[in-house]
Amino acid sequence: MKIIGVVPARMAASRFPGKPLHPILGRTLLEHVFERARKFTRWDALVVATCDEEIRAYAESKNYPVLMTSDTHTRALDRVTEATEKLDMDVDENDIVINVQGDEPMLRPDMIEAVVKPFSEGPDVDGTMLAMPIVDEELYRNPDILKIAHTLKGDVLYTSRNPIPWCKEFSPELEAKRIGGIFAFRWHFLKTFTALPESPLEIKEACDSNRLYDYGYTQRIALVPPQPFYSVDSPADAEKVAKALEADPLWGTY
């Protein structure tokens, strides 16, 4: 079972143009993501996927493997699928393809290990997503943070930008959980996902994971302990990450 990682990146992010090459503590966002991702030691391939010559040139200057993809993709998983098809290797239907979001500069190798682990727990797992407990109310109320409702087994029912499970008074005992930007799929399941039409919940919640649940598929959560973990969607987020990285155990190791 091969493990393939793809870091999708494009310059034309709607809320933060040029985001992948934005500097944080003297390193670009893309460098933080790729260097931290490759600390996971079991990759059979780890590549950058982009439609931008500027990102391609930067990746090559860092000796990061890079694949050029179409400039018509609006969703990361479509770019990941095209890049996987272009890999110079045989990808088996049951191999694992991991979308390592290019805006997660605080990812850690144990998070990648977490999304891989459920595939060995049973044949019913075709996809996983990183999940983390929400322990403060700000994240619980923040519409930029996607929350997860799941079964007792850990299969995702629904993701929402609204606070779920709903409670007037927030408490960590709610056991609310958020999505982290690392998603893993068996290759056949990723191709199934990207072939499905957009779905109502996907459009309404602006979260493509909901496409799977609308069509009766699911993913298994891969839960890690709560910790500082900030995505970068704006320059203000980048400043927040810079402060958090100074206390991060991986900072200074790449």
pLDDT band at residue 123 using 50, 70 and 90 as cut-offs:
confident
- Cβ 132 vs Cβ 59: under 8 Å: no
Handedness of CA 190, 204, 145, 27 (dihedral sign): positive
Tell me the C-alpha distance between 116 and 119, whole Å: 6
Q: What's the pLDDT tens digit per position in 145-196?
A: 999 999 999 999 999 999 999 999 999 999 999 999 999 999 999 999 999 9
Q: Is the pTM of this model over 0.75?
A: yes
Q: What's the pLDDT tens digit per position in 1-13?
A: 999 999 999 999 7
The structure tokens listed for 146 are 């996607």
What distances in angstroms separate CA 128 from CA 8, 122, 152, 185, 224, one per listed residue? Answer: 18, 12, 15, 7, 13
Domains of the chain in sequence order: 3-237 (3.90.550.10)
